[in-house]
Amino acid sequence: MRRLRRTPALRRLVAETRVGVDDLVAPVFVREGIDAPVPIAALPGVVQHTVGSLVAEARELRALGVSALVVFGVPGARDAVGSAASDPAGIVQVALRALRDAVGDELVLIADLCLCEYTDHGHCGVLDRGGRVDNDATLRRYGEVAVAQAAAGADFVAPSGMMDGQVGAIRAALDGAGHADTAILAYAAKYASAFYGPFREAVDVAIAGGGDRRGYQQDPANGREALTEVRLDLAEGADVVMVKPALHYLDVIAAVRRSVDVPVAAYHVSGEYAMLAAAAELGVVDREAAVLETLTAIKRAGAQFVLTYLARQAAELLGR
């Protein structure tokens, strides 16, 4: 076997897995009421954008070859039902229209679809009188959000709340409003992970009740359950399914890839990114090598594309 490892050219020739810039989706944050980008301390190199700076970032990412953005909003005001999430004048809808005007169809625009950034309690859905997430009431809100995002120019809506029946409710709402071409990227296997902390800082979310979402997100102990979730979402009309987080769930990505024929995505989440950034800052890993090895591992497990805060860094490395 060493004969095929002897030179870089030989290794490239026989490589089983390749990471390309087209495999990268950049998560971006846009915040209402600011006039300059705000750095996110827990995510070095990542900022909360203004609409203007987001448009500039999108143009730069496209020039690097990045294929898509997933947009998260930070509203100026929150309420119990997350009204800003479906407001045509809400920050994500404003940003989507500006992005579409600026880049046309040169970038795929994905809108994260959840209520947690927009509610005053930080949960992913509407709460009942007992303070628990009301699944069915939440589905109605998700349909309203999906229609608003599609009307603003989203190519994909990406429901991330892990409500039962969310994909079917969103598909029905989109089709009923004349948005049959808007696709659904389902967070089909989203785990109640310890690695989301930096993201919550990025969107200024504090979760009521101690931050416990284990009642509706998947238990990290369960792998086979993910396949059931994926099949349910596909039966309801999902176009792409996603596993989140990525690095700590490579076995789940591989199992999903073996089980379905649709595209499979993976989300390399904020905590996974922050750990790599911290290790590189301390000098205990080589940043460039770690970036490419991380993405290669996720692709090798079976992801067709990767949502990652490494998108810009990786694109710059791959473009050399």
Residues recognised as catalytic: 190, 244
Q: CA–CA distance from 244 to each of 2, 176, 204, 272 (Å)?
A: 36, 29, 20, 11
Three-class SS state of 130: coil
Three-class SS state of 69: strand
Distance CA 127, CA 150 (A): 25
Cβ-contact 57, 49 below 8 angstroms: yes
Smallest Cα–Cα separation from 311: which of 31, 122, 61?
Answer: 61
**What is the chain's length?**
320
Query: How do strand 156-159 and strand 68-74 relate by DSSP bridges?
Result: unpaired
**Alpha helices (H) in 65-116, listed in sequence order:** 91-103
Distance CA 61, CA 46 (A): 13
Locate 47 and state its tokens: 């900022």
